[in-house]
């Protein structure tokens, strides 16, 4: 981009036109650009079109002297986008008109020595499941050390409360309505007679036309590998990976953590007694050693700690002898977590031996909250499958020697942020003509920004789940009703407020996370203006993302049976 003006205050940019006629960056990135670059002359910019440029560009700039609204008329789309620069006389703006050179995203993301990147991505790993986050039973000294030397995010979110949609969002950088993987599989979950609406099935394979960050890093010269759970198609290789160890469409290895692993690629001949978590850590060390001379990206997507909750046998005695914690006490889970942590230690040792630790960024993340029957996210409410915090708030840290200082942040971030973050770290380009919903976290990592606020106010995070997730057997005390962990809903978090909209009933829940982290009190009734504001923003987002909202009544629904089942479950719980 080349704009440089002394008396122009707003730039309306269709990047493909501005730069090379092919590149399309997301509206949120443009919004960020405005805030970063435009804050010098526009104190308060509201960029409403945070979605699909091709559908609904409604852009409102609130300057210090008034509001300017630009709305595209569909028939004039081309003309609208040809208005690359919307020139406004500088006297509508305050302060001194400033000479500004807008950054070239390509240049801004270039790096002379691209770092290696390791993303340790765990399955169903809860917010409190490490020692550094407060587990009183599990032991994670290796992860703790990396976290303590890095930046810990205590308000990090997955885009979904269960596996496949969370992973689709991670790989695509898009919220669920765009890739339409809403659930694990497309068939309805839970009993038909208890579901009031027909669910939105969505799809179960990530559209191969979507460019993943792995594609982008590959194009930038990185060697890429995925090891462990893939879950988004039969084969991850076409999605930008040079090497696949163990990844299939399945949510786990077919027989659990010990072999045989069926046809899982590169795990076919696993020796008897080999714990798969250890094997993946060893494969990681092998890959890193083989590629030590070139930049590499390793997506270490462990099967751990997804069901089956299956212990690493050698570690059982240690945890059986350990005094159970008040929060955590599951011996098998503790061994599964230690296996991950020991592997992280091995990988770090390998990096150090090869002399590349200093040029390796390590990130740690999880796809959704912990598995309710085996672990606990207290004080968060809920667990995997719920859209309360325990289902979607997960651990995240970044360790980047020489760049990231040891620190902790409460800044809310979400899975779609990883895509632009990986591209900026590596110097890879963002894909042409593909919407991205996230923001790069690199400026936060480097301490150049305190937060990711847009327009001077917190950006909104979104979730959309138009399906059902049935209850776990015997565990339903931290969900809205005993039959389902989640019924169809959308959720939004903005600042300290979180709102959940339920499509079956129209019910709204509003929580003040600052004063009620455990989401104990629905304060929607006493905060009507906040409900209106968040609902309005959510509806705009649903419209921009074409979010499918279930509305068709389910003909098999039987209210009497639903009530009886709820009563029965509650009575059974009371007896326990």
The residues of the shown chain that bind Ca ion, judged by CB under 5 A, are: 123-124, 163, 367-368
Tell me the closest approach of the beta carbon of residue 545 to Ca ion, in angstroms.
23
Query: Which tokens go with 77?
Result: 């789309």
CB of residue 259 to Ca ion, shortest distance in Å: 22
123 or 129: CB nearest Ca ion: 123
Shortest gap between Cβ of 394 and Ca ion (angstroms)?
A: 10
If the CB atoms of residues 123 and 509 are measured against Ca ion, the closer one turns out to be 123
Spatial CB neighbours of 481, under 8 Å, sequence gap ≥ 6: 487, 566
Query: Rounded to the nearest whole angstrom, what is the least distance from the CB of residue 32 to Ca ion in the complex?
Result: 29
Contact assessment for residue 465 and residue 392, using Cβ atoms and an 8 Å cutoff: no
For the bound state, the minimum distance from the C-beta of residue 241 to Ca ion, rounded and expressed in Å, comes to 20
User: Measured from the CB of residue 325, what is the shortest distance to Ca ion in angstroms?
Assistant: 23
* Closest of 261, 247, 179 to residue 212, by C-alpha: 179
In whole angstroms, give the CA distance from residue 306 to residue 54.
Answer: 39
DSSP state of 326: S
**Both tokens assigned to 94:** 């305050």
Minimum distance, C-beta of residue 118 to Ca ion, in the bound complex (Å): 20
Select 336 or 351, whichever has its Cβ closest to Ca ion: 336
Nearer to Ca ion, 93 or 138 (CB): 138
- Residue 184 CB, shortest distance to Ca ion, in Å, is 9
φ/ψ (deg, to 5) at 86: -105, 105
- Of 166 and 489, nearer to Ca ion (C-beta) is 166
* Selection from 489, 506, 499, 500 nearest residue 530 by Cα: 499
> 123 or 139, CB closer to Ca ion?
123
Query: Using CA atoms, how far apart are residues 526 and 427, in angstroms rounded to an integer?
Result: 48
Give the count of alpha carbons within 13 A of 503, CB side only.
Answer: 27
Assess contact for 344 and 281: CB atoms under 8 A.
yes
| Separation CA 373–CA 362 (nearest Å) | 30
Of 204 and 494, the one with the shorter C-beta distance to Ca ion is 204
H or E element that contains 226: strand 223-228
Cα 387 to Cα 22, 116, 159, 519, 540: the distances in Å are 37, 34, 10, 11, 20
**Token pair belonging to 516:** 């009620």
Q: How far apart are CA 61 and CA 12, in angstroms?
A: 10
Shortest Å distance, C-beta 165 to Ca ion: 10
DSSP character at residue 406: S
Half-sphere exposure of 526 (CA within 13 A, CB side): 5
Return d(Cα 174, Cα 545) in angstroms, integer. Answer: 10
Which of 384, 487 has the CB closer to Ca ion? Answer: 384
Shorter beta-carbon distance to Ca ion: residue 51 or 415 = 415
Length of the chain: 576
Find the helix packing angle between 331-354 and 313-320, rounded to 10°. Answer: 120
Asked whether 383 and 474 are in contact (CB, 8 A), the reply is no
Residue 93 or 157: the one with the smaller Cβ distance to Ca ion is 157
Looking at beta carbons, which residue is closest to Ca ion?
163
**Vertex 135: Cα angle to 463 and 408 (nearest 5):** 60
Torsion angle in degrees (nearest 10) through CA of 83, 86, 87, 92: 160
Can you tell me the distance from the alpha carbon of 343 to that of 345, in angstroms, rounded to the nearest whole number?
Answer: 5
**In angstroms, what is the minimal distance from the CB of 28 to Ca ion?**
26
Choose among 487, 486, 484, 489: nearest CA to 500. Answer: 489
Q: How far is CA 542 from CA 33, 127, 162, 531, 535, in A?
A: 23, 28, 20, 16, 10
Q: CB of residue 536 vs Ca ion: minimum separation in angstroms? A: 32
Q: Minimum distance between the CB of residue 164 and Ca ion, rounded to whole angstroms?
A: 8
- Residue among 32 and 124 whose Cβ is closer to Ca ion: 124
CA distance 284 to 192: 44
> Whose Cβ is closer to Ca ion: residue 123's or residue 478's?
123
Whole-angstrom distance, CA of residue 491 vs CA of residue 462: 6
Shortest distance, CB of residue 306 to Ca ion, whole angstroms? Answer: 6
Strand partners, 118: 298, 362
Residue number with CB closer to Ca ion (367 or 424): 367
**Beta carbon nearer to Ca ion, 121 or 497:** 121
- The residue (of 198 and 389) whose beta carbon lies closer to Ca ion is 389
Shortest distance in whole angstroms from residue 367 CB to Ca ion: 4
Which run of H or E residues covers position 78? Answer: helix 77-82
State in angstroms the smallest separation of the CB of 216 from Ca ion.
24
């Amino acid at each position: 981009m080349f704009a440089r003006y002394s008396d122009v205050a707003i730039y309306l940019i269709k990047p493909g036109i501005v730069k090379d006629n092919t590149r399309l960056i997301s509206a949120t990135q443009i919004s960020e650009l405005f805030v970063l670059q435009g804050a010098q002359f526009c104190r308060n910019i509201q960029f409403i079109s945070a979605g699909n440029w091709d559908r609904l560009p409604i852009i409102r700039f609130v300057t210090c002297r008034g509001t300017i609204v630009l709305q595209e008329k569909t028939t004039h789309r081309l003309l609208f986008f040809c208005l690359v620069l919307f020139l406004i006389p500088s006297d509508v703006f305050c302060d001194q008109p400033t000479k500004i050179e807008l950054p070239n995203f390509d240049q801004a993301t270039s790096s002379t020595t691209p770092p290696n990147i390791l993303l340790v991505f765990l399955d169903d790993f809860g917010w409190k499941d490490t020692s550094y986050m407060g587990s009183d039973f599990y032991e994670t000294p290796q992860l703790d050390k990396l976290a303590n030397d890095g930046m810990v995010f205590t308000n990090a979110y997955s885009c979904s409360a269960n596996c496949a949609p969370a992973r689709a969002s991670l790989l695509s950088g898009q919220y669920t309505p765009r890739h339409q993987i809403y659930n694990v599989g497309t068939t309805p979950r839970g009993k038909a007679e208890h579901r009031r609406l027909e669910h939105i099935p969505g799809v179960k394979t990530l559209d191969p036309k979507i460019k993943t960050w792995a594609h982008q890093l590959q194009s930038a010269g990185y060697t890429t590998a995925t090891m462990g759970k893939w879950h988004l198609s039969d084969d991850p290789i076409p999605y930008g990976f040079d090497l696949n160890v163990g990844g299939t469409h399945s949510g786990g290895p077919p027989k659990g953590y010990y072999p045989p692993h069926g046809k899982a690629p590169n795990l076919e001949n696993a020796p008897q007694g080999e714990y798969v978590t250890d094997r993946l850590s060893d494969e990681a060390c092998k890959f890193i050693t083989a590629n030590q001379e070139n930049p590499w990206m390793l997506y270490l997507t462990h099967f751990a700690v997804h069901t089956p909750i299956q212990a690493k046998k050698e570690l059982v005695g240690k945890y059986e002898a350990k005094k159970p914690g008040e929060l955590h006490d599951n011996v098998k889970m503790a061994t599964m977590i230690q296996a991950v942590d020991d592997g992280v230690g091995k990988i770090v040792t390998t990096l150090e031996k090869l002399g590349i630790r200093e040029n390796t960024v390590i990130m740690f993340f999880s796809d959704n909250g912990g598995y309710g029957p085996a672990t606990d996210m207290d004080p968060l409410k809920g667990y995997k499958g719920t859209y309360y915090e325990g289902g979607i708030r997960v651990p995240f840290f970044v360790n980047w020697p020489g760049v990231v200082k040891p620190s902790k942040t409460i800044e809310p971030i979400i899975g779609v942020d990883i895509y632009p973050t990986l591209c900026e770290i590596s110097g890879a380009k963002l894909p042409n003509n593909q919407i991205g919903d996230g923001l790069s976290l690199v400026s936060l990592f480097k301490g150049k920004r305190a937060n990711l606020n847009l327009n001077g106010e917190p950006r909104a995070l979104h979730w959309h789940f138009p399906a059902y997730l049935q209850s776990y057997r015997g565990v339903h005390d931290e969900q809205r009703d005993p039959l389902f962990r989640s019924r169809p809903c959308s959720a939004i978090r903005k600042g300290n407020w979180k709102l959940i909209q339920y499509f079956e009933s129209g019910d709204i829940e509003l929580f003040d996370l600052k004063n009620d982290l455990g989401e104990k009190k629905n304060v929607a009734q006493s905060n009507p203006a906040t409900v209106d504001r968040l609902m309005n923003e959510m509806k705009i987002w649903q419209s921009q993302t074409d979010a499918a909202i279930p509305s068709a009544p389910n003909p098999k629904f039987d209210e009497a049976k639903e009530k009886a089942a709820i009563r029965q479950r509650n009575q059974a719980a009371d007896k326990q």
